[in-house]
Amino acid sequence: MDLFSLYNRLLVPFAVFSEIKREPARSFAFALAVERRLLVVPRLEAVDALALRILELVNADPSIPPIDPPEAYGLAFAKHAGLPLLTDNASPKLASLILEELSGVAVLDSLDVLQAIYSGETLLKALREFTEDTGVKFSARRLRELGLA
Amino acid sequence: MDLLKKLFEEKGLKVNWEAYAGLTSLLKEELEWARELRRREADWSYIESRPEPLKTALKLLVETGDLKLASRFNSIPLDELNEERVKAKIPLVVVSLRDSGAFAMNAER
C-alpha cells in the first residue's frame, strides 16, 4: 500500500480502532496489525486531560464543526507522541492552528498524503482514483493551494 | 466571543484569537460551499427511496457533512451509513484552512 512508502506504521488509538466494525475494513485492519504495520494504542492517562479539554472547548464553540471523543483523543495523542495526525475532518486541523498548546502538531488530510507520495500526472491520476473509490472530494480552494485547480 | 474567551482561559488553553477570527470566517465560507456541492451532487431519487431512518440520516448528512453526527442521531453504524453515502453519491468534502499569509506560519509543514 502506497501509504507505507511514507510511514513505517500507523498508530491508531483504541477509541478510533473500535469504530471499525464492518467487513472488509475490519479484516483489512487486523491484517495490517498482524504485519505490525498498524499498532493499536491503548488509552493513556497522560493524553486524557488534553483530549478532554479539546473536546469540551471545540464543542462549546458553534463556529467550529464538532469534534468527537476519538478524534479529540487522536489529536491529543499526536501532540503527546510528536506524530502527524491523518484526518480529513476540519476541526482537528483548525484546533491545531488556533490552540497554542497544539502548535507544531501536523494535521494532514488525504490530499497532503497523496501529494507527498505522488507528483505531476501521477498525482492527478491518484486523486481521480481516490475520489472515485471513496467519494471524498476537495474544495476548489483546497485544490488551488496545491496548483491542482 | 467574550464568554468563549473566558471559557478557554478557565480551561488553561491559550488561543491565537487573530488566527481564530480569520480561520473561522474562512471555514464558514468553505463549509457553505461544501453544503452546496453535496446538495447538487446527491442522488435525491436514491435518498428518497431508502427506508427510515436511513433516509433522514442521508438528508442530515447532505446538510451537515458530518457522517458521525448523522450516524449517531439515527442509530446507524458508521460504516453502514458510509456505504449508503457512497451509493447516494454524497461527497465528503475536505475544505481548506489556509487562506492568507497571516496564518501560513502555523499551516506550513
pLDDT-based confidence at B102, cuts 50/70/90? Answer: very low
The pLDDT score that the predictor gives to residue A42 is 92
Task: Give B-chain residues touching A137 at CB under 8 angstroms.
Answer: 37, 91-94
The pLDDT score that the predictor gives to residue B108 is 31
Cα A61 from Cα A43, distance rounded (Å): 26
Of the candidates B95, B77, B92, the one whose C-alpha atom is nearest the C-alpha of residue B27 is B95
Residue A14 near residue A40, CB atoms below 8 Å: yes
User: Which percentage of chain A shows pLDDT scores above 70?
Assistant: 99
Q: Note whether B97 contacts A: Cβ–Cβ < 8 A.
A: yes
Contact assignment for B16 to A98 by CB distance below 8 Å: yes
> Residue A122 forms beta bridges with which residues?
none
Nearest residue of chain A to residue B107 (CA atoms)? A97
Of the candidates B96, B107, B103, the one whose C-alpha atom is nearest the C-alpha of residue B30 is B96
pLDDT-based confidence at B4, cuts 50/70/90? Answer: confident
Nearest residue of chain B to residue A142 (CA atoms)? B96
Q: Is the pLDDT of residue A72 over 60?
A: yes
Which residue of B1, B10, B13, B38 is the best one to mutate when testing the A interface, meaning the one whose CB has the most A CBs within 10 A? B13
Domain A2-108 indexed as CATH 3.40.50.1010: yes
Which residue of A19, A108, A139 is the best one to mutate when testing the B interface, meaning the one whose CB has the most B CBs within 10 A? A139
Tell me what the mean pLDDT of segment B72-81 comes to. 91
What pTM was computed for the model? 0.87
Contact assignment for B13 to A100 by CB distance below 8 Å: yes
Q: Give the C-alpha distances (Å, rounded to integers) separating A41 from A54, A87, A115, B56.
A: 19, 17, 27, 35
More confident residue, B1 or A35: A35
Q: What ipTM was estimated for this complex?
A: 0.86
Q: Is the pLDDT of residue B106 over 80?
A: no
Mean pLDDT, rounded, of chain A: 91
Q: Note whether B27 contacts A: Cβ–Cβ < 8 A.
A: yes
The pLDDT score that the predictor gives to residue A38 is 95
The pLDDT score that the predictor gives to residue B101 is 42
Burial of B23 (0-12, 13-18, 19+ CB in 10 A): buried
The pLDDT score that the predictor gives to residue A24 is 86
Q: Is the pLDDT of residue B104 over 60?
A: no
Mean pLDDT, rounded, of chain B: 86
The pLDDT score that the predictor gives to residue B2 is 78
User: Which percentage of chain A shows pLDDT scores above 90?
Assistant: 71
Q: Give the C-alpha distances (Å, rounded to integers) separating A81 from A37, A98, A101, A102.
A: 17, 20, 14, 12
Residue A12 near residue A45, CB atoms below 8 Å: no
| Per-residue model confidence as pLDDT tens digits over B6-55 | 887 887 778 888 888 889 899 999 999 999 999 999 999 999 999 999 99
Residue for grid cell 497523496: A114
The pLDDT score that the predictor gives to residue A108 is 94
Nearest residue of chain A to residue B32 (CA atoms)? A139
The pLDDT score that the predictor gives to residue A1 is 59
Cα B4 from Cα A87, distance rounded (Å): 26
Helix, coil or strand: residue B84: helix
For A141, the grid coordinates are 480552494
Terminal CA-to-CA distance of chain B, rounded, Å? 29
Residue A105 near residue A92, CB atoms below 8 Å: no
Residue ranges of domains in chain B: 22-107
| Per-residue model confidence as pLDDT tens digits over A2-28 | 889 999 999 999 988 988 888 888 899
